[in-house]
Amino acid sequence: QIQTILLDDNAIEELPSEIATMQSMQVLLLNGNKLTNLPAGYLENGVVTRVNLSGNPISQCPQVLAHLRQTCEGNGGMYWPPR
């Protein structure tokens, strides 16, 4: 089971929805990409502890961003928001 996604600084513009539905994913490090949106599947993740979205121009999906922040903080982790 994959628990960590580390894709920093890869000029990624979009994530496949399959990544969002990985229920074992605890760490999502995506800083320094070109993401503008995140799949709604992240709303179902309740185990994430670290998410770094800094350096991404994400302007859509406020519910997904709020859920990831709340879940990280609730699990005693860290959340870095998009710029």
**19-74 pLDDT, tens per residue?**
998 989 999 999 999 999 999 999 999 999 999 999 999 999 999 999 999 999 99
Torsion of CA 50, 46, 75, 64, to 10 degrees: 60
Spatial CA neighbour of 47 closest among 70, 79, 24: 24
Q: Residue 74: what pLDDT?
A: 98
Q: Residue 54: what pLDDT?
A: 98
Q: Residue 11: what pLDDT?
A: 97
Q: Are strands 4-6 and 27-29 parallel, antiparallel or unpaired?
A: parallel
Q: Helix (H, G, I), strand (E, B), or coil: what is residue 68?
A: helix
Q: In DSSP terms, which residues pair with 29 in a beta bridge?
A: 6, 52
> Is the per-residue pLDDT at 14 higher than 90?
yes
Q: Residue 60: what pLDDT?
A: 92
Q: Residue 83: what pLDDT?
A: 85
